[in-house]
A and B are shown apart, each in its own frame.
Chain A
Amino acid sequence: SQQGEEDPQALSIQEGENATMNCSYKTSINNLQWYRQNSGRGLVHLILIRSNEREKHSGRLRVTLDTSKKSSSLLITASRAADTASYFCATDPSTDSWGKLQFGAGTQVVVTP
């Protein structure tokens, strides 16, 4: 079963626009991570936010975390065609010391030139 739920399931935007996707999860976490996947290939790590952090930035990425609502959001600013991919949130449950990740179903993002 999936730990998280991403919203929306799919997103279509034009280059230069911002893309925002949300993730909700069910259990307490050590951290939450976002990954990108191009065309059914391997996952690429984008950013990790710890449970005691509220916001984190990395280049054009901004992640927020609200542990009281068990939710996170990923904002991609000034999107490019190369940002076309599926984006997954993954949680590292606090009950786990081995770092097993629990993924959501993902948001499919299409950026048109």
Chain B
Amino acid sequence: DAGVTQSPTHLIKTRGQQVTLRCSPKSGHDTVSWYQQALGQGPQFIFQYYEEEERQRGNFPDRFSGHQFPNYSSELNVNALLLGDSALYLCASSLRESSGGRKYFGPGTRLTVL
């Protein structure tokens, strides 16, 4: 039973560029959430997808966008990268019917913006 997978593991971009991060949820899960974790901080909620729609959004600008595919996998896109976007990006999956339960996190994508 595969857990949550994310790609790539590491990524280096320059300011102003655009980036796409990918996530495959745990088998059987239908809800995907994305979190940003700056160095030395706790994860911050970006947004959550269910049935291919964004259901909730945290306090992040429109430069952050996402998508969920029919197979429940998801992408996080960040446009016009800023130095402050450097962080570990975590994907978490769960079942909508147990939305208040535990989340399963992937290993993360480390994004460095130069």
Contacts and interface: CB of A to CB of B under 8 A. Distances in A.
B100 A31 contact: yes
A44 B50 CA distance: 22
A40 interface: yes
Contact of B103 (A99, A102, A106): A99
Contacts of A99: 31, 94, 99-101, 103
Interface in A86-113: 88, 90, 92, 96-106
Q: What band does the interface of chain A fall in when counting residues whose beta carbon is under 8 Å from B?
A: 20 to 34
A41 B106 CA distance: 8
Contacts of A100: 33, 45, 48, 56, 58
Nearest to A40: B88
B105 A44 contact: yes
Contacts of A42: 4, 90, 105-108
B29 to A, nearest CB: 12
